[in-house]
Chains A and B, each alone.
Chain A
Amino acid sequence: MNTDRNTLRSVLREKFPRDHGQLLPALHFLQHEFGYLPDWGMEVVGWHLGIPASEVYGAATSYTELRTTAPGNHVIRVCTGLGCRINGAGVILETVRESFAETNGKEITIEETPCGYLCGMAPALEIDGVWHGRVDAGSVKAHLKELSQS
């Protein structure tokens, strides 16, 4: 663990100047590397930038896109923002949750996003970083079947 902290600290030292304003870029980098923000990682970011760990944690948890718990092997994010909600996102979410059992036990994280910015293609959902627009229950089931077979 100490080795990881030191390695991470040296990487941060190369990539980010020691400035309070670099907190969000550093957190983005951390989430990109690990898939989420581990507690020890946030502490190292605080060391490098000179920010108390509590403030780093407070800032990190205030953002909807950053997660502090490890996600599953696959992440499905259903947009439940205004545009998708009035175009049937509830049905999509229910379909995804019901299909959870059909995915051969793979660890799947289902999240809701406030807006995927695909309002012209509502309803939309993201599977492993790829957005699919103009979906309905049938096409969602087809996508999830592909996911379970992969």
Chain B
Amino acid sequence: MSRTQDGKTIVTVQVSHCSMSVGASEVAEALAAALPDDAVMITAGCDGACFDAPQVLATTASGERHRYVRVNPESAREIAAQVASGSLSDTVRTNGFHSGQRRITLDGCGELDCEVIDSYLDRGGYSGLANALAMSAEELIEEVKESGLRGRGGAYFPAALKWQGARSVNVEPRYLVVNSEEGEPGVFKDRHLMEGVPHRILEGAIIAAYATGANFALIYINAEADLSAEVMQHAVDQASQFGIIGKDILGSGFELSVEIRRGAGGYVCGEETTLLNTVEGYRREPRLRSPFPTEPALSLPKGWGRAGDGDSTASHQPIFPSASIDGFMRPIRPQPKSPPPGRGPCGWGWCGRAAVDPRPPDKPGRRRCCTGPGGRSRGTPPRWAAPARAPRRARPRPDPSGPGNGRGRGAPARCRGGHGRCAPAPPVWTVSPPSSRCGRRSRRSGRSRGRR
């Protein structure tokens, strides 16, 4: 039954793995006890503003929305009193995080009731699946190819190519594995999707399974993500009841069964081949990439054709079949080479706040978490969670007595720098900062100085 009832104030408590660690469950209990009967309380996932958790949203019957941040049980009772009296105050603290956001993947995260499928259906959920099932699998793959949808796991591999590769393998049965392991330390974006909009991930997984011809789907969730697994399992059960998973999905004749599998820890389990090893019951070790995961491997007793899609990629898929490709892609075409828009990084910005930023970065690595009203606060220096890079290796310098040395090219022995003509090409990197000196004594060229 839909919870959007006319004339009632809807109070949304954002309860997720992260906000539960700072008391969101207690806030939800306090609100449930203190709210009047004419208000409706729903629990949703976190919307990405982790620095302000626990958050409570109150939406009045007229559509006004009030946001309360850093709520504790006492302030929850005050909120309940305000709802009862009908006068909701402004937000306790305003921040620029939510302004200027155009949410595509995270649309509805933090607002949708994750216990009830109707809230997702009311927003046009599963219409993308209906459109996809109306096409043939080959047409669907062509449409995805034209859209340029790429994976969001870091490799940005084109999704359509992966599906095509899996479809071209003539073995049965085919399995689709959704990679929700999210093993990288410092990354916490897939949790928000699983806890906030689990049906969007399911819809994307079913579309991907239809495109690849898979009749079994496994959603592989991290060992730590108990709440995510619970919410996803609930979503799978509800979708089964509605005929969205199972035999003859939406009358198309396509059959799919979905199973939730849990990981057992480790960064490496998020890697595609390691994940497949763990799913098949082996040690968590990666495999070499030929044969590719979509090809049946000789070491397996059964030839499985598999395709792995990440969580964020799966959540992007239902969006475009529900509108025309052009309508979706026009604002963000052309797709940049890297990184693609729509899925910002998560990390800590200048103000030391941790957040999941759904705004597309205009430049890679640019910090955007507090460039809204209020500007930047000169706080702690930025600490982006990025994978460690290998240090630069020392490369040997070119031979100083090489050809062209007398004309100022190459890498002469002495220079005080400044004229730049003796800068070697390509640049020579050493462990110490590259020096611009080439050993020359004067700024005059080699010809006037005589041959060196």
A24: B residues at CB distance < 8 A: 261-264, 278-279, 281
- Our count of residue pairs bridging A and B at CB distance below 8 angstroms stands at 120
Q: How far is the CA of A23 from the CA of B278 in the complex (A)?
A: 9
The count of chain A contact residues (Cβ–Cβ below 8 Å) is: 38
Q: Is the CB of A86 within 8 A of B283?
A: no
Contact of B266 among A114, A119, A124 (CB under 8 A): A114
Residues of B close to A51: CB separation below 8 A: 281
* Least CB separation from B22: chain A residue: A133
A28 touches B264 (CB 8 A): yes
CB of B40 closer than 8 Å to a CB of A: no
Interface of B is mostly: loop
* Chain B, residue nearest A125 (CB): B21
Smallest CB separation, B151 vs chain A (Å): 21
B residues contacting the other copy or chain, number (CB 8 A): 42
Contact flags B281-314 to A (C-beta < 8 A → 1, else 0): 1111100000000000000010000000000000
A33 to chain B, nearest CB (A): 15
Contact B188 A118 (CB under 8 A): yes
Knowing A24-B264, A64-B266, the reply to whether A117 touches B188 (Cβ < 8 A) is yes
Contact A120 B182 (CB under 8 A): no
The reply on B53 being an interface residue by CB < 8 A is yes
- Is A147 in the interface zone, CB < 8 Å from B? no
Q: Are the CB atoms of B186 and A81 closer together than 8 Å?
A: yes
CA distance A145 to B62 in the complex (A): 48
B264 pairs with A119, CB closer than 8 A: no
Which residues from chain A sit less than 8 Å from chain B, CB to CB? 19-25, 27-28, 49, 51, 55, 58-59, 62-66, 81-83, 86, 113-122, 124, 131-134
Tell me whether B186 and A83 are in contact (CB under 8 A): yes
Q: How far is the CA of A28 from the CA of B184 in the complex (A)?
A: 22
Instruction: Mark contacts of B346-386 with chain A using CB atoms, 8 A cut-off: 1 yes-contact digit, 0 otherwise.
Output: 10000000111000000000000000000000000001010
Bound-state Cα–Cα, A27 to B261, Å: 12
Interface stretch of the complex, out of B111-119, B160-168, B220-228? B220-228
Partner of A121 from the list B21, B222, B263, B278 (CB cut-off 8 Å) is B21
Tell whether, in the assembled complex, residue B185 and residue A28 are in contact, meaning their CB atoms are under 8 Å apart: no
Is B242 among interface residues, defined by CB-CB distance under 8 A?
A: no
Is the Cβ of A23 less than 8 Å from the Cβ of B281?
A: yes
Contact yes or no, A117 B21, CB < 8 A: no
A110 to B266, CA, bound (A): 18
Given contacts A117-B191, A118-B18, A118-B21, contact A63 B284 (CB under 8 A): yes
Query: In the complex, A124 Cα to B188 Cα: how many Å?
Result: 14
Which of A28, A58, A131 is the one whose CB lies under 8 Å from B17? A131
Q: Give which listed residue, B187, B265, B282, contacts A64 with CB less than 8 A.
A: B265
Is the pair A62, B283 in contact by a Cβ cutoff of 8 Å? yes
Closest to B352 in A: A87
**Smallest CB-CB A-B distances: 6 pairs:** A120-B50, A23-B281, A133-B21, A65-B265, A63-B264, A81-B185
